[in-house]
Amino acid sequence: MTESGQQAEKSKRLPRAVREKQILDAAVTVFARHGYHPASMDEVSEVAGVSKPMIYSYLGSKEDLFLHCIRREANRLIDAVQTGIDADVAADMQLWTGLRAFYGFVAEHRASWTVLHQQALAVGGKFASEITALRSHAIEMVTKLVVSEGSRKGLGEQAEFSGEGMAAALVGAAEALADWWLDHPDLSPGVLASWLMNLTWLGFNDLVEGQVWRPS
């Protein structure tokens, strides 16, 4: 038996869930590297060490596979942020822990972020809709935080009026900073999160007045 034959034999014994994970891991890497259209199923098969017919049988066409990738990475991102948020602390600290978890995820899973934020939007259609849904989810989380904190301080009406728009702006800022980060990879997730806290929680005051937000 040839080496690749042995390899195929060995991989046949793996449970389906393990094989699917191998395929998805490989697909995220390949899609992030080339983009959706230029990416080839041959390369996914090679990187995963799983035959093409088996990929089609387990996860469907290239289109299906891309959608599986986007959904899995979106869920991982949501899980990472939700796990990272400490819900028992003050509102600024909740935002801080959420942002740190977000940048921590991007730092560890750069290919996931590239697929989610660049490839999926570039391909458009139902793929972009998944990202719009992910973004709406993030906006909703931030809106809830701001409205609940505003209400607690007797500013509920104002928070209800402008909270969602400001949350949308904050989420856009967080995404834009993550993209900027791809070209400035030396900074830590904590630095990025603290910049965003300073920008949104204290405003530019930290730069122009020397006032700085710090985790309490």
By CB under 8 A, name the binding residues for a second copy.
Answer: 35, 91-92, 95, 121-122, 124, 128, 139, 146, 149-150, 153-155, 158-159, 162-166, 168-177, 179-181, 184, 187, 192, 195-196, 198-210, 213
Residue 10 or 184 having the CB closest to a second copy: 184
Rounded to whole angstroms, how far apart are CA atoms 9 and 105? Answer: 35
CB of 212 to a second copy, least distance (A): 9
Distances (CA, A) of 19 to 44, 112, 176: 13, 19, 34
We find the least distance from the C-beta atom of residue 137 to a second copy, in angstroms, to be 14
Q: Which is nearer to a second copy, 24 or 196 (CB)?
A: 196
CA distance linking residue 23 with residue 60, whole number of Å: 11
The sign of the torsion formed by the CA atoms of 196, 81, 171, 103 equals positive
Question: Residues 6 or more apart from 31 whose CB is under 8 A from it?
Answer: 39, 66, 69, 111, 115, 119
Compare residues 54 and 202 and give the one whose CB is closer to a second copy. 202
- Residue 51 or 151 having the CB closest to a second copy: 151
Minimum CB separation of residue 25 from a second copy in Å reads 25
Q: How far apart are alpha carbons 95 and 196 in whole angstroms? A: 10
Which residue's CB is nearer to a second copy, number 12 or number 152?
Answer: 152
Cα–Cα distance measured from residue 173 to residue 15, given in angstroms and rounded to the nearest whole number: 41
User: Which of 77, 170 has the CB closer to a second copy?
Assistant: 170
Query: Nearest approach, Cβ of 128 to a second copy (angstroms)?
Result: 7
Please report how close the Cβ of residue 81 comes to a second copy at its closest, in angstroms.
17
The SS3 assignment for 149 reads helix
Q: Which of 114, 115, 107 is nearest to 84 (CA)?
A: 107
Closest separation between CB of residue 79 and a second copy, Å? 23
